[in-house]
Amino acid sequence: MRRAVLACYLLALSSSLAAQTPRLGTVDFPTSARGDAQRQFLNGVLYLHSFEYASAAAAFREAQRLEPGFTMAYWGEAMTYNHPLWNERDRVAAMAALGRLAPTPDARLARAPTERERRWLAAAEALWAEGPKPTRDTAYAAAIGAIAGDYPDDVEARAFYALALMGLSQATRNVPTYMRAAGMLEELYRTHPDHPGIVHYLIHAYDDPTHAPLGLRVARAYSVVAPDAAHAQHMTTHIFLALGMWDETVSQNVIAARVAGGPDRPGHYTSWLLYGLLQQGRFDDARAFLERLRAGTAATSTRQRSELLAERAYYLVNTERYTDDATSWPLDAQTIGETGVAMDAFALGYAALRRGDRAAAHAQAARMPRAAASDPSDTPGIAPAVLGMLMDAALLFDAGQRDSAVALARAAARMEEAVPFEFGPPDVVKPAHELAGEMLLSMGRPAEAQREYQAALARAPGRALSLRGLARAAAAAGDSTVARVAQAQLRANWHAAQGAF
């Protein structure tokens, strides 16, 4: 009897421990540490590969507590403050982490017990040395690439090297570099299909409309490889959105938001979820969700306020519900950055113009940042510049200067196309080609409008407003084949639509 009770207890304990162990994939990263410190280190690496940076830092700090002289635990925490594909870094926090190991680079390197660990730590020192971020990124990539070259069986070095290469683009998309990284990762994926970094970085390499079909298999795999990483659940939708797969975009971001613990708070995952609902034509669901997100906004969180403003902009532009009382919500747009202000001002100004309130439209246009992006590589400056041009084009069109309006919208489209594909819901909340298409269609120039809509869909496959416009323009231009295909795709996307258009 006691044996049976003990067996049940052990089974329950085993199940409990299994439930507490995050399912994050598999890595093999031997170090000089042993026991619990090594296990915490591996958890940190797993979280790091899935960009779960806060959880990764906590695991690395626990490894430091368990073994204070464990050099790789300090390396790991420092790496959590480098976000290469987001073009973000926190040198102060990274140097604080390294400083707890020893006060100087030489002193830290002297504490590494093996040559390989010294090389890893030296790569981090190269990244966090003083100097411009692109210079430090290049030095780090060279250092980690040298490790991968000298230790060809080191899967971690090869995976992190691929990520470092993509990070050299400074949050833009240098396609040759991304494809070089993809080739390296594909070779690793054949033998390490459960490695979270390999599948994650492959998705990033492929998440544009041209290459997205190549990433579909790893997108479906990643959510299974790392089910307890919210970012893994979300990352799959980088491929789904690039392919216009709205059902999957919605369902995966529902899961991601729940895993992250905040399904009703504005954030990255909920923005993608809301945008997916809008492309499905589920406007009533989107409106109810937007209201819940508004209720869940923390007044002191700049990130949440910024996301909520973007979410309202997506809702207003994509539903064309220009009289919705969401336009009058007193949302705080302070300290959210030029792109956020431009998105908010454009959406409110365009809505005001479409409902006939020209004074309000001009007032919103005056809010828009007007510093033009002089360099196409200045990606953060492109969206505000394009949105400003589109707002001006809409005002010109409303004032009867239609040819000038179309010319300005087309100029905005050329600027928009000068930067690499922007994955995710667009900062340019009304794509320039789409607005030009709507103007041309209303002017009785359907063939030109058709070309504009097709250009819009090349950058945003499956986008509902562009599909609707293409179907109308092609029908008016006598291109019945294109019209039927666009209508069929729109109907498929709208299988659960609610009052769409």
Write down which residue in 430, 460, 488 finishes a domain: 430
DSSP bridge partners of 413: none
Does 460 map to a domain? yes
**What pLDDT does 491 receive?**
97
Using CA atoms, how far apart are residues 420 and 481, in angstroms rounded to an integer?
A: 30
Report pLDDT for 422. 67
CA distances from 453 to 357, 398, 449 (A): 27, 21, 6
3-state DSSP assignment of residue 392: helix
10-residue averages of pLDDT along the chain (501 residues): 35 36 93 96 98 97 97 98 94 98 97 97 97 96 97 96 95 90 97 98 94 95 95 95 96 94 86 98 97 81 90 98 96 88 97 98 94 53 93 98 98 89 86 98 98 97 98 98 98 90 61
455, 463, 386: which is closest to 419 by C-alpha?
Answer: 386
SS3 82: strand
Would you state the pLDDT for residue 207? 93
**Boundary of a domain, candidates 301, 324, 347:** 324
Is residue 345 domain-shared with residue 418, that is, in the same domain? yes
pLDDT score recorded for residue 270: 95
The predicted pLDDT at position 432 comes to 98
Are 454 and 423 part of one and the same domain? no
Give domain status of residue 413, yes or no.
yes
Structure tokens, 26: 């598999």
Tell whether 362 and 418 lie within a shared domain. yes
Task: Tell me which of 299, 324, 349 is where a domain ends.
Answer: 324
Question: Are 315 and 287 spatial neighbours (Cβ–Cβ below 8 Å)?
Answer: yes
Return all residues near 393 (Cβ < 8 A) that are at least 6 apart: 405, 406, 408, 409, 412, 435, 439
Asked whether residue 311 falls in the same domain as residue 391, the answer is: no
Task: Give the integer Cα–Cα distance in Å for 342 and 322.
Answer: 18
SS3 state of residue 83: strand
Query: Both 357 and 404 in a single domain?
Result: yes
Query: What is d(CA 412, CA 388) in angstroms, rounded to the nearest whole number?
Result: 9
Q: What is the spatial distance between Cα 29 and Cα 24, in angstroms, rounded to a whole number?
A: 14
CA dist., res. 145 & res. 166, Å (int): 13
Domain with 307, as residue range(s), is: 258-324
Q: Is 291 a domain residue?
A: yes
Q: Round to whole Å and give the CA distance between 133 and 282.
A: 42
pLDDT of residue 2: 34
Nearest to 137 by CA among 79, 190, 74: 79
**Does 44 reside within a domain?**
no
Q: What is the pLDDT of residue 263?
A: 73
Task: Please give the pLDDT value at position 264.
Answer: 83
pTM over the 0.95 mark: no
Beta bridge partners of 281: none
pLDDT of residue 380: 62
Number of domains the chain contains: 3
To the nearest 10°, report the CA torsion of 38, 257, 308, 391: 100
Do the domain assignments include residue 123?
Answer: no
Does residue 146 lie in a domain region? no
Let me know if residue 385 belongs to a domain.
Answer: yes
Helix, strand and coil in the chain, % to nearest 5: 70, 0, 30
38-42: long-range contacts (C-beta < 8 A, 24 or more apart)? 38/63, 40/66, 40/73, 41/70, 41/72, 41/73, 41/76
Model pLDDT, residue 51: 96
Residue 448 burial by Cβ neighbours in a 10 Å radius (0-12, 13-18, 19+): middle
What are the structure tokens assigned to 143, written together? 């250092």
Question: Would 107 be classed as within a structural domain?
Answer: no
